A and B are shown apart, each in its own frame.
Chain A
């Protein structure tokens, strides 16, 4: 999730005093105030609202929410001037097929504004841009560029320019191999025989999206007044929305928006396009979903407070909103404008019969029986490490499920509970003995998940644990059979291990832990334990 930081002074000057009421308002708008001090304030923006990822975008929406500037905000769009053209070459089709572009003029940049633009660009890249995979954004100083612009794909060695934060010319491949930003995003162009570039009328390379701009023609400074903006990617409607977010934000900063003509083969299109999409909103649907009794006038007012225009059961959606897919999205905005705090919670009359999962009931009964024997229940992670699951237990590394790119040492799903109980005993050698513990939990046997019970006592011998197994069996009114095993787990002592069966089906083992295993775990007391699969028991008792 993305957080946006901006000046508290600016907020208080342009929006209002940040008192407790205002703090609450910000949260109730759906942008939790994460922190603030005298200088700055930071809000959290949910991924459905990239249009709030800058101060000016937030201000536009929040002023409407406060009832100060309601309805769909209009921005003047100036028609393309001469050469305000982007020629899209068919060579980009297989690399990065779409772009949406605009020119903004008359900006007065200062450090503060440049920072806001750069921050917004970065956050848009991260969120709806999907780390530049879906959308890459470029902003260029118009004074360094000769229009018209061409969007095309070139072979990597034919691309030569000085990338940002560098002082020498590099080829397309060199940028991916050597430049820090190039290395970070190289995977986005991996396997492509041609890389996309924007060039100007003098064939200067402006940028190589989605990687990097040119140091010469692609860097906005304090003296920049006019900019060329492009979004490139794979989803034209989303690119348009993204362009709308950026251009209206620049307009909020004082710029004038100019459209550009996109020429592709023989087709021409114009971007940006602010004509609002319309969506039907049915009063009855809204009231029934929210449990309210709003009239049309109220719905109109509420929608206007969320930045929409409303007319005759139809809402005009701001062209920078990316999250309105269905009427329910409008209804949620009505609810936000109404105020979540004003809804009166009410449990409906839906008569149903409650019921707990049978397995949970059986597990609870088993726990009750064992707690009655003064045994303590423990609870471990479902993930474990190979060292603890296999090496310390002398078990062969097989039949396990590994998770990909775990951020910790826990990389596989546990195959049994036994090794975790030994781990606990090894971590508690300073606690008072005897130690008696059990765990009820899920294990992962290849792709099958099973509920197991494991119990360990220290110091204890075979007899002690067998008595517990037999007690448990009797109390559950089941007929466990203790039998001589054919094969024993490598961590138990041969001759002191028994197989536990239910209806002649093997369900587990009980026995004394071999000293070599105790040594692996640095346990200095004898341990006897058992582990059984509960699935057969569930079947029997259900």
Chain B
């Protein structure tokens, strides 16, 4: 426990103000200290935290006067007003009595009931007559006495008062019962000690203000009030990047550190770049509407690859070159190149023009290869971007996902080199143990699937594919045979794993409270 001296120095001005009155109840403390009740309660709470007092609470019911009750207290209860009228007139028709007493229907009925019960009136032939004596009617009724005694403590009501309460409860808004919490203060030993010595402590500086700083004498040799530096505080929130973008920015850094140049491109692409240039036959199931988002628009071949909002610049491929490329891709599908047998079908240019939402970022790679200047080889490129699949949405599926794409173009690259880049990237993403297993993509051979080991769940989980581009892909695009290592693992599962997100939908839920709490990507 802190020493009494330090505790005293930590007391706020309000706490010190109420210190002398702790033997009293809250209302009295408020009156004596000149603080309002809320401040007193707060100060008591703090003193409790500092172990000067213990607080206990007891609940108390208070009977208070209601809206109508307040009115009646001033003007008299309706039955009193009727009784007064009858004291004067002795006998009256019912209608007359209500009219002259100017009571509402409810009030009039209630008054009749109340007076009949006390046997002060009787009703015969639609007439109302006084039966009580003058002395009887001039006495205050128990209800009147009760209303004057309010507010009262419910638990200490006399049987008479209780009777009046019950009869008022049946009538509208005469009384109301409120629950009040009563605070019981017990001063601890430490509290007693501090109360005794508090007066010896001089004035403490509450806060460092410009006024205090003006004169050295204002602070020199003085003590500052001590804070409870450990007390809990309300939390604050800062601005920050969306966690998915934090992660993609990290991956961007990883790739650039490894010497890769970033590629970008439109999300709406012709089927040419998404499928045909990647040797995906035109009857491949991925090219059906249940898997891919098609639009009703068509693109020119093979351009329409301008970066967002910008036309192709001087690097724009000439129309002749374009025609040559389209022809080469067509031949690759129909007859094959470099000894390949091809897919052996009639390639349809119109099908290649259909505009789709890219299903993978690999379309950016196919375009980059087509535009690559031979003198820029060797070259390494990467892209990170959103891709789309026509899916229903559930915990593990969505129609949008992030992909991390990469290609390495150089002579004499090998499958082991491909695995080398992948291993390094996933290590930097935090996965130490990875495995490669055979897979299939129409545009790579050999193809590989990357699994990473989840040490807590003790399972391998699939992160996506990679491979070496087939000659049927590279020869039409590059115009020559060249090994091109390529990969395009999904990115979202890594983010979900890092943030321990179980449901894919959480990634784009944009729950503000959740985003405020979300941790930074600390890599």
Residues of B contacting A351 in the complex (Cβ-Cβ under 8 angstroms): 259, 378
* Nearest opposing residue in chain A for B385, CB measure: A442
Residue B414 at the chain A interface, CB threshold 8 Å: yes
A340 engages B437 (CB within 8 Å): yes
Stretch at the interface among A79-87, A159-167, A363-371: A363-371
Residue B39 at the chain A interface, CB threshold 8 Å: no
B420 engages A403 (CB within 8 Å): no
B309 engages A376 (CB within 8 Å): no
A382 engages B513 (CB within 8 Å): no
Residue A190 at the chain B interface, CB threshold 8 Å: no
Residue A193 at the chain B interface, CB threshold 8 Å: no
**Interface 1/0 per residue, A350-361 and B, CB below 8 Å:** 111111110110
Give min CB distance, A379 to chain B, whole Å.
4
Query: In the assembly, what is the distance between CA of A278 and CA of B125, in Å?
Result: 125
B437 engages A30 (CB within 8 Å): yes
B245 engages A379 (CB within 8 Å): yes
Contact (A371, B240) CB under 8 Å given A133-B283, A451-B308: yes
Contact (A345, B239) CB under 8 Å given A237-B344, A401-B268: no
* Nearest opposing residue in chain B for A430, CB measure: B513
How many interface contacts (CB-CB < 8 Å) are there between A and B?
266
**Interface 1/0 per residue, B261-272 and A, CB below 8 Å:** 111101110000
Residues of B contacting A359 in the complex (Cβ-Cβ under 8 angstroms): 264, 307-308
A289 engages B240 (CB within 8 Å): no
Residues of B contacting A403 in the complex (Cβ-Cβ under 8 angstroms): 293-295, 357, 390
8 Å CB interface, B243-274 against A: 244-245, 249, 252, 255-264, 266-268
Residues of A contacting B393 in the complex (Cβ-Cβ under 8 angstroms): 408
Contact (A383, B400) CB under 8 Å given A348-B417, A428-B513, A437-B512: yes
A447 engages B414 (CB within 8 Å): no
A382 engages B267 (CB within 8 Å): yes
* Nearest opposing residue in chain B for A410, CB measure: B399
Give min CB distance, A358 to chain B, whole Å.
9
8 Å CB interface, B284-332 against A: 285, 289-290, 293-297, 307-310
B416 engages A382 (CB within 8 Å): no
Give min CB distance, B423 to chain A, whole Å.
4
**Interface 1/0 per residue, A524-538 and B, CB below 8 Å:** 000000000101001
Residue A449 at the chain B interface, CB threshold 8 Å: yes
A348 engages B440 (CB within 8 Å): no
Residue A48 at the chain B interface, CB threshold 8 Å: yes
B512 engages A291 (CB within 8 Å): no
A382 engages B412 (CB within 8 Å): no
B437 engages A356 (CB within 8 Å): no
Give min CB distance, B344 to chain A, whole Å.
7
**Interface 1/0 per residue, A502-542 and B, CB below 8 Å:** 00000000000000000000000000000001010011000
Residues of B contacting A235 in the complex (Cβ-Cβ under 8 angstroms): 344-345
A288 engages B412 (CB within 8 Å): yes
A375 engages B239 (CB within 8 Å): yes
Query: In the assembly, what is the distance between CA of A407 and CA of B392, in Å?
Result: 5
Residues of B contacting A237 in the complex (Cβ-Cβ under 8 angstroms): 344
Give min CB distance, B1 to chain A, whole Å.
37
- From B261, B355, B378, B511, A350 is in contact (CB under 8 Å) with B378
- Max chain B Cβ within 10 angstroms of own Cβ: one of A29, A372, A402, A405: A405
Residue A431 at the chain B interface, CB threshold 8 Å: yes
Contact (A357, B262) CB under 8 Å given A345-B416, A448-B309: yes
Interface residues of B (CB under 8 A from A): 237-242, 244-245, 249, 252, 255-264, 266-268, 283, 285, 289-290, 293-297, 307-310, 336, 338-345, 355, 357, 378-380, 386, 388, 390-393, 399-400, 408, 410, 412-417, 419-424, 435-440, 445-449, 468, 470-472, 483, 508, 510-513, 515-516
Taking A30-B439, A327-B339, A360-B264 as known contacts, 4 extra A-B pairs with beta carbons closer than 8 A to each other, sorted by chain A number, are A335-B446, A348-B414, A428-B512, A432-B513
* 11 A-B interface contacts by CB (under 8 A): A30-B437, A292-B416, A325-B343, A326-B336, A326-B338, A328-B446, A345-B420, A346-B420, A354-B260, A404-B295, A407-B390
